[in-house]
């Protein structure tokens, strides 16, 4: 038994089923997406069993990408939680067979309240499919399960259809990375997009020197500063920067006169700077563009107030 071949077979089966979804799309997909986009309420997802688990993921994806959404367990809904559904809400009901009793029981209430309904099932002619406003076909030809019992390809197809809805809505809303960050302030992306350079920069005991500082003192300053560089400052103005790479190159190129060098002989002019109020994402882009690991942080008067490095950005 080749374990890797088993995995490859699962990948191939599920990949084929996902690719086949595009041939099952109808106008109902576009109508469903536009209905959710124009909805004045929430987009509520409900499903039983494995469909419910996938429904929770779909709801979470939608909520984090600009569509107010939550998952409602059909059993709990039928025993009191129907009050969570308001008239302006759109409801997505998921059942691979289209005949799940717990899900079907929600339809009379939704019809009486006038909610727009969308269904996902593998059978457009199922009870669920013909009793909702829009149907999204997630039919598969083969489950990856060798016994054809455990839902595998079918749950993958459901998840991908949910992702397609989410992406379509993101594009309609012109949803940007800064919008995503507002819903994920604790993540690395949120940190980069919402946090300013001033919040993470090194600002105490900055490694600085004068133009006439000798090479020995420069090396000590770089070592003590633990930033891999020293900023050359003259008359409160930034004159240049010297990195540990500059030191190594000078050792190779000058050799016998290396210890006679001063900061003015080594420094690079016009070092890369960034304002303290810029967001970390701007700092990240600036470092990537310049292919450097550090930026000198300045205030509105272009005075040195800190150093920010790539590892400070949390990336």
**pLDDT score, position 181:** 63
| Residue 27: pLDDT over 90 | yes
**pLDDT score, position 188:** 57
* Domain 3-175 classification at class level: alpha beta
Task: Band the pLDDT of 80: cuts 50, 70, 90.
Answer: confident
Q: Does residue 180 or residue 165 have the better pLDDT?
A: 165
Average pLDDT over residues 276-294: 87
| Residue 283: pLDDT over 90 | no
Task: Band the pLDDT of 184: cuts 50, 70, 90.
Answer: low
Average pLDDT for the chain: 91
The pTM (predicted TM-score) of the whole model is 0.67
Determine how β-strand 208-209 pairs with β-strand 134-137.
unpaired
In this structure, which topology does domain 197-313 adopt according to CATH?
Answer: CBS-domain (3.10.580)
Task: Band the pLDDT of 92: cuts 50, 70, 90.
Answer: very high
| Residue 235: pLDDT over 90 | no
Q: Can you give the residue ranges of every domain in the chain?
A: 3-175, 197-313
Average pLDDT over residues 148-176: 94
| Residue 303: pLDDT over 80 | yes
């Amino acid at each position: 038994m080749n374990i890797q071949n088993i995995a490859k077979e699962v990948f191939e089966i599920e990949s084929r089923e996902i690719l086949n979804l595009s041939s099952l799309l109808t106008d109902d997909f576009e109508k469903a997406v536009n209905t959710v986009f124009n909805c004045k309420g929430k987009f509520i997802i409900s499903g039983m069993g494995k469909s419910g688990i996938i429904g929770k993921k779909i709801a979470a994806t939608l909520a984090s990408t600009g569509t107010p959404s939550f998952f409602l367990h059909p059993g709990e809904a039928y025993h009191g939680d129907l009050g969570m559904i308001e008239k302006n809400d759109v409801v997505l009901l998921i059942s691979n067979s289209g005949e799940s009793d717990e899900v079907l029981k929600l339809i009379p209430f939704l019809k009486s309240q006038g909610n727009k309904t969308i269904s996902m099932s593998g059978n457009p002619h199922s009870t669920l499919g013909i009793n909702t406003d829009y149907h999204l076909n997630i039919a598969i030809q083969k489950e990856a399960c060798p016994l054809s019992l455990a839902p595998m390809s079918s749950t993958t197809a459901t998840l991908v259809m949910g992702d397609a809805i989410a992406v379509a809505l993101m594009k309609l809303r012109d949803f940007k990375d800064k919008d995503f960050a507002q819903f994920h302030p604790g993540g690395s992306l949120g940190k980069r997009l919402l946090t300013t350079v001033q919040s993470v920069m090194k600002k105490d005991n900055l490694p600085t020197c004068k133009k006439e500082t000798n090479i020995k003192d420069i090396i000590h300053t770089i070592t003590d500063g633990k930033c891999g560089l020293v900023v050359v400052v003259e008359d409160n103005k930034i004159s240049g920067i010297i990195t540990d790479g500059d030191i190594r190159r000078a050792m190779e190129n000058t050799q016998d006169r290396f210890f006679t060098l001063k900061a003015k002989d080594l420094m690079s002019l016009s070092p890369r700077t960034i304002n303290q109020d810029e967001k970390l994402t701007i700092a990240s882009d600036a470092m990537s563009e310049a292919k450097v690991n550090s930026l000198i942080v300045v205030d509105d008067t272009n005075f040195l107030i800190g150093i920010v490095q790539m590892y400070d950005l949390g990336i």
